[in-house]
């Protein structure tokens, strides 16, 4: 998503005459068009087709290399080397390689020396993962989802809507513990149960049991059960691994760039090489790897402004730090190239620039010019809607633990830090009859964070107040939880 957004802005016609243009190349490992991975669960649930979540294609002038993987960055030559043998030159390179799903160390997940998952075991990160899982699920199939974070809850709900018998096994104390407190998570758990998902928290999975995929004496393995730490086994036809993600940094590390958890970048989204930038899930800014679409898009927007045709980049061999007051210029013979390497989600690219006037994401503002774009981090907001299953689906008739019939959709929003410290003010409203939960934390005259479930009428105003970090109005704090957020 970030890469496509960046490419669209870089390839747009220049606003001012004589400002030059940028040649953009996107190199993507997946054969699919770029898509919104946030909506993959809706594709799995059957609500949308894959084409519905496709992102608008970049401008016609953008060169796309789909189904091609970059295997090496040759920094001295300013080229990326692809798995098909092509070498693509760049003047500026943007790494937006995304992240990989975490595969937990479960017994039976891999055979000794092997790298193939058993049949029926799926990660849930890319469009290919989604399509494979959708092809395997059927009404009545026994599915176990391992991991109760945002992705695991979304995937479990989607499988239940397809008619599967779903068990969600989560090692933590409550669902979505990164976003929700125990009270909100309890409401979420009750709602998920009404959708036909059996939830087990504080439940550690020890391993997988497999059988021959093709009968006695046949080759291959297929999952048959999930084994818990207490020895209990959950029979399974499908297993979904939703245990988090890890930034894809192998390409950057092999190229000698600074890597911590992610590819380390500064406020100009620049790596330790002044010609190489990083955005999205692979990037680490000020010690934070966001892994969220909103942060990736903000980074792409800042980078697009920084890479707009303007001051020159350092010379192609310049692997030294960029001198903000230097006057070095690239060799004009190289031409303007921006090479983009898009991740498996169809999101980020790496870029190359052109001959006439170089665009530079990492160029520092001239002395006295403090208006140049900078990335200072993202104040993230998580939103999720858990729609009820269609009336014809088994989950629609599932009774809630309190005996009530399945409710309608549940909306959820969480932002900032909802955990109060001593001295913080907490405003908390819960309505069990309406299945709503509202909580905000205030420190001094600033909104620190909040959680809203079931009724998001006030989320817009609250989010704007939090994102702007403005002082709160002098009205009573309870007004923060009215439908207009106190505004």
278, 269 Cβ separation under 8 angstroms: yes
341, 96 Cβ separation under 8 angstroms: yes
pLDDT beyond 70 at 216: no
Least-confidence region, from 46-50, 244-248, 397-401: 397-401
Residue 332 CB neighbour total at 10 angstroms: 12
| Ramachandran region, residue 258 (left: φ > 0; alpha: ψ -120 to 50; beta: rest) | beta
Tell me the per-residue pLDDT of 77-126, one tens digit each, with 9 for 90 and over: 999 999 999 999 999 999 999 999 999 999 999 999 889 999 999 999 99
193, 178 Cβ separation under 8 angstroms: no
Q: How far apart are CA 201 and CA 191, in angstroms?
A: 15
pLDDT of residue 214: 73
Provide the H-helix boundaries in 76-227.
127-136, 150-161, 182-194
Beta bridge partners of 222: 119, 211
Q: How far apart are CA 420 and CA 417, in angstroms?
A: 8
Residue 334 CB neighbour total at 10 angstroms: 18
pLDDT beyond 70 at 368: no
Q: How far apart are CA 249 and CA 270, in angstroms?
A: 15
Q: CA 344: distance to chain centroid? A: 12
pLDDT beyond 60 at 15: no
Tell me the per-residue pLDDT of 132-159, one tens digit each, with 9 for 90 and over: 999 999 999 999 999 999 999 999 999 9
The SS3 call for residue 151 is helix
450, 458 Cβ separation under 8 angstroms: no
Best CA proximity match to 91, nearest among 101, 77, 78, 75: 78
Best CA proximity match to 66, nearest among 94, 29, 114: 29
H-run or E-run covering 247 = strand 245-247
Least-confidence region, from 55-64, 252-261, 372-381: 55-64
**Residues 6 or more apart in contact with residue 177 via CB below 8 angstroms:** 149, 185
Tokens for 6, please give them. Answer: 């960046």
Residue of 444 and 57 predicted with greater confidence = 444
92, 357 Cβ separation under 8 angstroms: no
pLDDT of residue 12: 72
Q: What DSSP line would sit under 264-298, residue for residue?
A: EE-TTSB-SSTTEEE-GGGEEETTB---SHHHHHH
pLDDT beyond 90 at 353: no
**Residues 6 or more apart in contact with residue 320 via CB below 8 angstroms:** 274, 314
pLDDT of residue 94: 97
pLDDT bracket for residue 19 (50, 70, 90): low
182, 412 Cβ separation under 8 angstroms: no
CA torsion sign for 349, 310, 258, 74 is: positive
pLDDT bracket for residue 455 (50, 70, 90): confident
pLDDT bracket for residue 335 (50, 70, 90): very low
157, 134 Cβ separation under 8 angstroms: no
Tracing tokens 């969220």 back to the chain, one arrives at 292
H-run or E-run covering 467 = helix 459-468
H-run or E-run covering 337 = none
**Residues 6 or more apart in contact with residue 252 via CB below 8 angstroms:** 73, 95, 97, 259, 263, 271, 276, 278, 282
pLDDT beyond 50 at 363: no
Reported in sequence order, the residue ranges of 148-212 that DSSP labels E, i.e. its strands, are 165-169, 197-200, 205-212
For the chain, give the percent of residues with pLDDT over 90: 61
The single-letter DSSP state of residue 336 is -
Q: How far apart are CA 36 and CA 39, in angstroms?
A: 6
pLDDT bracket for residue 228 (50, 70, 90): very high
Give me the mean pLDDT over the 319-333 stretch.
Answer: 35
Give me the mean pLDDT over the 231-237 stretch.
Answer: 96
Tokens for 13, please give them. Answer: 């016609």
Helix 2-10 with 293-306: angle, nearest 10 deg: 20
pLDDT of residue 350: 33
b/e sequence 9-19, b meaning 16+ C-beta within 10 Å: bbbeeeeeeee
Tracing tokens 């006439």 back to the chain, one arrives at 356
Provide the H-helix boundaries in 101-163.
127-136, 150-161
Tell me the per-residue pLDDT of 245-301, one tens digit each, with 9 for 90 and over: 999 999 999 999 999 999 999 999 999 999 999 999 999 999 999 999 999 999 999
pLDDT beyond 60 at 457: yes
380, 415 Cβ separation under 8 angstroms: yes
pLDDT of residue 100: 96
pLDDT bracket for residue 477 (50, 70, 90): low
For the chain, give the percent of residues with pLDDT over 70: 78
Tokens for 367, please give them. Answer: 């002395």
**Residues 6 or more apart in contact with residue 424 via CB below 8 angstroms:** 441, 442, 443, 448
CA torsion sign for 228, 231, 236, 238 is: positive
């Amino acid at each position: 998503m970030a890469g496509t957004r960046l490419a669209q802005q870089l390839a747009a016609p220049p606003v001012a005459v004589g400002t030059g243009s940028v040649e953009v190349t996107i190199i993507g490992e997946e054969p699919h068009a770029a898509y919104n991975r946030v909506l993959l669960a809706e594709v799995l649930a059957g609500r949308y087709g894959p084409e519905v979540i496709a992102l608008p294609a970049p401008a016609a002038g953008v060169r796309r290399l789909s189904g091609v993987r970059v295997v090496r960055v040759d920094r001295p030559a300013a080229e990326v080397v692809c798995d098909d043998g092509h070498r693509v030159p760049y003047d500026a390179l943007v790494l937006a390689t995304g992240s990989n799903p975490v595969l937990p160390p479960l017994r039976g997940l891999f055979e000794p020396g092997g790298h193939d998952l058993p049949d029926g075991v799926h990660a849930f990160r890319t469009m290919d993962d989604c399509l494979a899982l959708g092809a395997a699920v059927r009404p009545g199939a026994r599915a176990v989802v391992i991991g109760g974070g945002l992705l695991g809850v979304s995937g479990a709900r989607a499988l239940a809507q397809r008619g599967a018998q779903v068990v969600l096994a989560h090692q933590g104390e409550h669902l979505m513990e990164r976003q929700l407190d125990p009270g909100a998570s309890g409401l979420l758990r009750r709602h998920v149960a009404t959708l036909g998902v059996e939830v087990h928290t504080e439940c550690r999975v020890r391993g997988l049991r497999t059988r021959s995929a093709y009968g006695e004496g046949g080759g291959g393995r297929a999952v048959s059960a999930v084994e818990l730490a207490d020895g209990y086994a959950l029979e399974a036809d499908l297993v979904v691994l939703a245990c988090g993600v890890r930034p894809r940094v192998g390409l950057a590390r092999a190229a000698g760039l600074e890597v911590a958890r992610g590819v380390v970048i500064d406020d100009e989204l620049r790596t330790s090489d002044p010609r190489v930038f990083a955005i999205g899930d692979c990037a680490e800014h000020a010690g934070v790897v966001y892994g969220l679409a909103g942060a990736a898009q903000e980074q792409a927007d800042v980078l697009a402004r920084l890479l707009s045709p303007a001051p020159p980049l350092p010379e192609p061999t310049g692997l030294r730090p960029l001198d903000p007051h230097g006057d070095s210029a690239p060799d004009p013979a190289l031409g303007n190239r921006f090479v983009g390497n898009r991740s498996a989600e169809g999101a980020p690219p790496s870029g190359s620039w052109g001959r006439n006037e170089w665009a530079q994401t990492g160029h520092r503002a001239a002395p006295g010019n403090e208006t140049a774009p900078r990335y200072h981090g993202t104040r993230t907001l998580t939103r999720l809607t858990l729609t009820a299953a269609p009336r014809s689906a088994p989950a629609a008739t599932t009774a809630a633990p309190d005996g009530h019939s399945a409710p309608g959709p549940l909306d959820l929003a969480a932002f900032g830090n909802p955990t109060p410290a001593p001295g913080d003010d907490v405003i908390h409203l819960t309505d069990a009859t309406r299945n709503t939960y509202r909580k905000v934390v205030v420190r001094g005259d600033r909104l620190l964070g909040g959680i809203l479930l079931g009724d998001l009428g006030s989320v817009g105003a609250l989010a704007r107040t939090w994102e702007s970090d403005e002082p709160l109005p002098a009205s009573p704090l309870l007004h923060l939880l009215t439908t207009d957020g106190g505004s």
